Structure 1
Amino acid sequence: MDADTTRTKPLSTREQEPIPLTARELDQQFPGVLDGISLLGGGANVILQLARPGVGYGVLESRVESGQIFRRPLKRTRTTLTYLAVALAGTNQEKQAYRQAVDEVHAQVYSTPQSPVQYNAFNHDLQLWVAACLYWGFADTWRQLRGEPDPATAGSFYQRAAALGTTLQVPPERWPSDLAAYQTYWQQALARIHIDPPVRAYLTDIAELKFLPTVFSRSLGPLNRFITAGFLPPQVREEMHFTWGEKQQKKFDRLISTVGLVNRCLPRVIRQLPFLVVLWDFRRRLRNGAPFI
């Protein structure tokens, strides 16, 4: 098997990554970066990740029934939020525990001879793309809701965000060395995206919240599709066949400006509540030996 698709020895996060910060400390150093309001961009981030065919078909053809959002939407949402919370605000030991749990699931995700594209969940290139999307989502919503951070703060958060990849199986040396290197990687990677019709239909249903009961998808789906489209890079929006113009952009900017203003007035615990809840639940499961995923 190619070296890029094999499991690697668990990384020594204590040696390779910055000293972990608590949710409170993260907010002190990077105000608002872990706010729950950033989840408004969650749908866009899912689309970004699945815009790489290897990831898109890997999710579309997944054998892991418990991880399928249309069958277990609450569990799928919980496990995703937990991963993000542990990667950014967990201890080294907690990251190692979650990495092992993710590995067990990823072992079931690989292409078959009938698959339109070849993929393997342990492929470092695909994992790096997923991690890069996760970083992009945090950085983009942070910027849009809080304003552009100064270069030093942005660079410091970028280095810490490497954990979004190393808590998977991305070796630290695969994470672009700095923000300039990341931007080069990002632009090159965006040029490789392509969304086939089956994946596009699946992602459109997610954007329109069709994994929720009908009463919610019909009432909130159009708004969520609009917000999702607003957070997408233009080329990905085009791949999704989402209509977007100056009128939609102005409406989106006003909405995000208002939401960001209200969010900044809230106490930290309320702002971070979704991540704090899943982090508490994860630690309870870890103590009790319960499954994480």
Structure 2
Amino acid sequence: MTDLAEDAEQTLDALPLGPESLVWRYFGDNRMYLIGPRPAVLQNMLAELGQGVLDHSVFFADTAARVKRSLPPIFMTVYGADDDNEGIRVRDFHTDIKGEMPDGSRYHALDPDTYFWAHATFVEQVLYFADTFVKRLTRAEKEQIYLESKTWYRRYGVSDRPMPADYDGFERYWNRMIDEIVVAHPTAAYGVGYVTKGFPRPKGVAPALWRVVAPVFNPIAAFLTTGGMPPRTRELLGLPWSEGQERRYQRFAALWRSKPVNWLWDHLPMRLRYNTFAQTGYARG
């Protein structure tokens, strides 16, 4: 095969990340907070991944610390260059995350099926967020996001054996995982416990201030978290959700997708619209 043919095959197989990519456009967008903790909860609903977090992470002792440690290198993997990103470092964080499941079987965070599921929740996060809170994506845009995500995944240096070839395959994979594989692992249940119990007071927030903030914050957090979860996972986790709440959620999402809101958002300064990692990537070009 000639070099030209090889290049053409690679182009068809995946799309590059960069300023023109849709993954860049949406992944670092600060409106992403509107989907709540959807990817983290879904990750932990894969039993092997949830068990790894249960056995090895500070997630239960200090949830905020775990988030602060985990997310920056993932963003730097996306918004880095092909030859200068954090992907291998992210992978190496997981080398020693292994152990035994309750049934005696073994798990390892670098098992390709487990690692790809974690990545898939981030890919679906981009798709869900953009389609729900920015604009209705066309099929071609969904395909583009998925093909760009293949480049993203390969930056980790993990086997891409479980990775579907195209967006159609990814849809089938995702639906099967949600419909047949994920479970209400204790780690995932803990991660959404505040929906019914209220959010614990964050470290550094004075008790008196939290007593004022919590009655407003907790219902909003519960609404965004529960509304942002796939219906079957709500059922598995016992998250209360009514038809009326669903209608309110869809109206809320439609407001964010509206032309006036998008126009206003697009005219805000970059520092307000994107996180620092995305800003750095776009500045580099």
Q: Same fold (TM over 0.5)?
A: yes
Q: May I ask how many residue pairs the two structures share in their alignment? A: 258
Task: State the 1:246 CA deviation.
Answer: 1.1
Partners of 1:30 and 1:110 in 2: how far apart? 32
**Counterpart position of 2:184:** 195
- Residue 252 (str. 1) matches residue 246 (str. 2): no
Q: Percent identical across equivalent pairs?
A: 17
Which stretches in structure 1 are left out of the alignment for 5+ residues?
A: 1-12, 284-293
Q: 1:26 touches 1:34 (CA, 8 Å); kept in 2?
A: no
- Residue 45 (str. 1) matches residue 39 (str. 2): yes
**Counterpart position of 2:166:** 178
- Residue 19 (str. 1) matches residue 16 (str. 2): yes
User: Against the structure 1 CA distance between its residues 218 and 151, is the aligned structure 2 distance closer, same or farther, given a 3 Å change threshold?
Assistant: same
Q: 2:79 touches 2:277 (CA, 8 Å); kept in 1?
A: no
Partners of 2:69 and 2:257 in 1: how far apart? 26
How does the TM-score come out when normalised to structure 2?
0.76
Q: 1:86 touches 1:94 (CA, 8 Å); kept in 2?
A: no
**Counterpart position of 2:106:** 118
Once structures 1 and 2 are overlaid, which stretch shifts more, 172-181 or 108-117?
Answer: 108-117
Task: State the 1:30 CA deviation.
Answer: 7.6
- Residue 54 (str. 1) matches residue 44 (str. 2): no
Task: State the 1:164 CA deviation.
Answer: 4.3
Q: For residues 169-218 of structure 1, what are the alpha-carbon distances to aligned partners after superposition, in whole Å with 9 as ceiling and x for unaligned?
A: 4434532111111111112222111114x334422246654372462655
Task: State the 1:117 CA deviation.
Answer: 5.9
Aligned to 1:93, what secondary structure does the other structure show?
coil
**Counterpart position of 1:85:** 75
Q: 2:28 touches 2:278 (CA, 8 Å); kept in 1?
A: no
Q: For residues 74-104 of structure 1, what are the alpha-carbon distances to aligned partners after superposition, in whole Å with 9 as ceiling and x for unaligned?
A: x433344324423332201233xx2232233
Partners of 2:104 and 2:252 in 1: how far apart? 39
Aligned to 2:84, what secondary structure does the other structure show?
helix
- Residue 235 (str. 1) matches residue 232 (str. 2): yes
Partners of 2:45 and 2:237 in 1: how far apart? 9
Aligned to 2:252, what secondary structure does the other structure show?
helix
Which stretches in structure 2 are left out of the alignment for 5+ residues?
A: 1-9
How does the TM-score come out when normalised to structure 1?
0.75
Partners of 1:211 and 1:57 in 2: how far apart? 26
User: Against the structure 1 CA distance between its residues 93 and 223, is the aligned structure 2 distance closer, same or farther, given a 3 Å change threshold?
Assistant: same
Partners of 1:147 and 1:235 in 2: how far apart? 24
Partners of 1:278 and 1:210 in 2: how far apart? 30
Aligned to 1:119, what secondary structure does the other structure show?
strand
Task: State the 1:107 CA deviation.
Answer: 1.8
Give the root-mean-square deviation of aligned CA atoms: 3.2
Q: 1:109 touches 1:120 (CA, 8 Å); kept in 2?
A: yes
